[in-house]
């Protein structure tokens, strides 16, 4: 299944700018925390979920906003699970990065997206 915003981006981009520029580059990497023992060793409570930031591209838009070791716990008010997914269409789940890309300025200039990060415990 191809999400509607991806199709929208494919057709709307050329109409807006005259060219198709693809999707914006990802400025940071993350790692899932599915192993409960690993989460415990890093100081997370059993009721905390999220993914850990492992790399940030130098001088990117995320450079001053995130730090390696931060935990992305929610995106647009949706809790990020330890496997990096968020709820989508009822019982379905998708990768949290989809929301960040779908709401990026390249996709929808008037829309914003927010992520909740916490410093590493």
pLDDT recorded at residue 82: 92
Based on the structure, what is the number of domains in the chain? Answer: 1
Query: What whole-number distance in Å separates Cα of residue 31 and Cα of residue 52?
Result: 5
Closest C-alpha among 40, 121, 113, 112 to residue 82: 40
- Give domain status of residue 76, yes or no: yes
Domain span at residue 78 reads 4-12+27-118
- 103, 110 contact by CB (below 8 A): no
Inside any domain, residue 70: yes
Residue 109 located in a structural domain: yes
Q: What are 16-36's pLDDT values in tens digits? A: 677 766 665 667 788 888 888
Q: Is residue 67 part of a domain?
A: yes
Helices (H), the chain: 4-17, 36-41, 97-102
Residue 19 lies in a domain: no
Assigned domain for 20 exists: no
Q: Which residues of the chain have pLDDT under 70?
A: 1, 3, 5, 9, 13, 16, 20-26, 101-121
- DSSP-derived secondary structure letter, 1: -
Output the domain CATH number for residue 69: 2.30.42
What was the pLDDT predicted at 113?
Answer: 47
CA trace torsion 99, 101, 104, 106 (10° rounding): -150
Instruction: Quote the pLDDT of residue 119.
Output: 61
> Length of the chain, please?
121
Q: Is residue 114 domain-resident? A: yes
* 21 is a domain residue: no
């Amino acid at each position: 299944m191809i999400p509607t915003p991806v199709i929208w981006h494919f057709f709307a981009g050329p109409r807006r700018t005259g060219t198709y520029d693809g999707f914006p580059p990802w400025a940071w990497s993350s790692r899932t925390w599915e192993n409960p023992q690993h989460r415990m060793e890093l100081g997370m409570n059993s009721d905390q979920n999220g993914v850990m930031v492992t790399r940030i591209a130098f001088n990117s838009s995320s450079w001053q906003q995130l730090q390696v070791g931060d935990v992305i716990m929610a995106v647009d008010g949706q809790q990020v699970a330890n496997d990096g997914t968020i709820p989508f269409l009822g019982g379905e789940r998708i990768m949290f990065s989809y929301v960040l890309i779908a709401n990026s300025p390249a996709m929808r200039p008037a829309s914003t997206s927010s992520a909740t990060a916490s410093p590493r415990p």
